[in-house]
Chains A and B, each alone.
Chain A
Amino acid sequence: MDIFLQQVVSGLATGGIYASLALALVMIYQATDVVNFAQGEMAMFSTYLAWSMLNAGLPYWVAFTATLAIAFVGGLLIERIVIRPVENAPVLAVVIVCIGLLVILNSVAGWIYSYIQKPFPSPFPGTPIRFGNVVFGAHDLGAIGITLVVLLFLYVFFRYTTLGLAMRAAAQNPVSSRLCGVRVGWMLAIGWGLAALVGAVAGMMVAPIVFLDPNMMAGILIYAFASATLGGFTSPGGAVVGGLLVGVIENLVGTYVRFIGTELKLTVALAIIIIVLVVKPSGLFGRVVVRRV
């Protein structure tokens, strides 16, 4: 029972990270109908920037905040400079641009920082936290907390602010939004900025667990795809629930199903993707989108 609880909590911790990245994917998908394959590498690159700042001696939370700001501006610029020119191109062209971005960010990170794994600090104490007989990692609990704060911030932003409302409107109906005076192009850019910010949080929370290297987000991104697919690519709340579920399922299956263990965990994510696509392609909370052809 103790092991079960520990695995659930640690599953929620990684699940929160998948949820953040899945949310970033869904935000961009809803606004532009494009799956941003570079989301993971954008997060990885932000995490490297945080590492540089920490190495230069900045306190953790200063580096953390600065990284979020840089990630936001970076995401915004990527949309303006790289995505904007292919805005009206076929989806495949945009996908290829995203994949190109993935490769560029990956290579540039490897070129600057090398491919050798680096430890990345956690802002939380290393000593485990004990509730009775159950022991939880402080980083696990902290990561869950940070993820919840980020999600709450996004919820309040989209639900209650005028800018958030305008962004939702722009994603839903660009023409009507323009007729309301909403500058749709900028809303998309801000959406990319926010997605990059959320991704940066995920990167900094996962780096202490998986170590920092240019390929660290490759696996995480697949989990994020599984999460978004499970929750529904059309539902931000679904992506979050999907992320937490995937994190817990992955951990429990890894613990209790002997032949899977830690080696085959990633297969679980792929299995989830396939099962969802076969059984309920719109995901748990997604809408079925009907398109006239």
Chain B
Amino acid sequence: MAALLTASELRARYGWTRVLHGVSFEVEEGGITTILGANGAGKTTTLRAVSGLVSTEGSVHFAGGRIDGRAPEDLVRAGIAHVPEGRGTFVGLTVEENLRLGAYARRERARSDDFERVYQYFPILRERRRQVAGTLSGGEQQMLAIARALMLSPRLLLLDEPSLGLAPLVMREIFRIVRAINRDHGVSVLLVEQNAAIALELADHAYVLETGRVVLAGPPAILKQDDAVRRSYLGY
């Protein structure tokens, strides 16, 4: 399969602190790629570099064009949907308004079947559609964040720690839906996770990030065998 996203030698810093020291990775068209790493490894910054929220050195190619240095507002229009760390839902707006915003960057207006499709994956959101997003539970807010990204009909979905702060059952449910979205619509996924066990189950390619560098890359089956990965991220 061809690469939909290719990042090479990404370097980024906040003020004088370097966070990324030349990170390179690929996301295959239609695949799920995961970046694992501990707190502070640079996972979130990597995603923010892809979606244009932080400026970087190095290059990012998406669907054949170079996209580094372009503004997030434009990259959304190119089909990159970023579900940020901490979900980034609009807590003062209703569920339906959040979803309408998800479709904001699309050329045509959101139709009822777009909402239908999203509600099929997340039936709870249909029940809650008139509710203000701030009143949802953590799991429901994460669902809303993913649902909002889905309203874009994206080509690439960037997920930043969707498991954070969720009960194990809710987390499993969300990962099952991410898998379904990937399979049904061919949406490529770049998943950043601390929970390595569940991310390796889902992904078909994985990178391990340590203090701003890729230290390991390969298919999950191989990474699971790696002693260092097992000790540091899987805990056995």
A residues near B (Cβ < 8 Å) are 162, 165-166, 168-169, 172-173, 175-183
Whole-angstrom distance from the CB of A287 to the nearest CB of chain B?
9
Interface pair B73/A172, CB less than 8 Å apart: no
Stretch at the interface among B12-20, B81-89, B202-210: B81-89
Q: Are A180 and B89 in contact (CB under 8 A)?
A: no
Complex A-B: 22 CB contacts under 8 Å: A162-B100, A162-B109, A165-B93, A165-B97, A165-B100, A166-B101, A169-B90, A169-B93, A172-B92, A175-B53, A175-B84, A175-B88, A176-B88, A176-B89, A178-B71, A178-B72, A179-B51, A179-B82, A179-B88, A181-B73, A181-B104, A182-B73
B93 near A180: Cβ-Cβ < 8 Å: no
Complex contacts, B77 vs chain A, CB 8 Å: 181
Check B93 against A168 for contact (C-beta < 8 Å): yes
Contacting residues, chain B, for A178 (C-beta < 8 A): 53, 71-73, 76
Query: In the complex, what distance in Å separates the CA atom of A176 from the CA atom of B92?
Result: 13
- 16 more A-B contacts (CB under 8 A) besides A162-B100, A172-B91? A162-B104, A162-B109, A165-B101, A168-B97, A172-B92, A172-B93, A175-B53, A175-B84, A178-B53, A178-B72, A178-B73, A179-B53, A179-B82, A181-B77, A181-B105, A183-B73
Contact B72 A179 (CB under 8 A): yes
| Chain B 45-60 interface mask (CB, 8 Å, partner A; 1/0) | 0000001010000000
CB <8 Å contact, A180 and B53:
no
In the bound complex, what is the Cα–Cα distance between A64 and B82 (angstroms)? 45
Residues of B in contact with A, size category:
20 to 34
Q: Is B102 an interface residue (CB 8 A)?
A: yes
Smallest distance from the beta carbon of B132 to chain A beta carbons, Å? Answer: 11
CB <8 Å contact, A169 and B84: no
Whether B104 lies near A180 (C-beta < 8 A) is: yes
From B76, B90, B97, B100, A181 is in contact (CB under 8 Å) with: B76
B interface residue numbers (CB < 8 A to A): 51, 53, 71-73, 76-77, 81-82, 84, 88-93, 97, 100-102, 104-105, 109, 148, 152
Within the complex, the shortest CB–CB distance from B115 to chain A, in Å, comes to: 14
A70 to chain B, nearest CB (A): 29
Whole-angstrom CA separation of A180 from B75 in the bound complex: 10
**Residues on A with beta carbons closer than 8 Å to the beta carbon of B90:** 169, 172-173, 176
Closest to A179 in B: B82
The CA of A107 and the CA of B178, in the complex, are separated in Å by 61
Q: How far, in angstroms, from A176 to B83 measured CA to CA in the complex?
A: 9
Given contacts A169-B90, A172-B90, contact A180 B84 (CB under 8 A): no
Give A159's nearest chain B residue, CB to CB: B97
Instruction: Sort A-B residue pairs by CB-CB distance and give the 6 closest, nearest first.
Output: A181-B105, A181-B76, A176-B88, A180-B101, A178-B72, A179-B82
Question: Smallest CB-CB separation from A168: which chain B residue?
Answer: B93
> With contacts A172-B93, A178-B73 known, is A166 near B51, CB below 8 A?
no
* Closest A residue to B110 using CB positions: A162
**Smallest CB–CB gap between B54 and chain A, Å?**
11
Query: Which residues in B have their C-beta under 8 angstroms from that of A176?
Result: 84, 88-90
Alpha-carbon distance between A182 and B100 when the two chains are bound, in angstroms: 12
Chain A residues in 8 Å Cβ range of B89? 176
Please give the distance in Å from B156's CB to the nearest CB on chain A.
13
Residues of B within 8 A of A165 (CB): 93, 97, 100-101, 104
Provide the residues of chain A in CB contact with B88, threshold 8 Å: 173, 175-176, 179
Q: Which residue of chain A is the closest to B71 with respect to CB atoms?
A: A178
Q: Would A169 and B53 count as touching, CB distance under 8 A?
A: no
Residues of B within 8 A of A173 (CB): 88, 90-91
Q: How far is the CA of A179 from the CA of B109 in the complex (A)?
A: 17
- Complex Cα gap A196–B72 (Å): 29
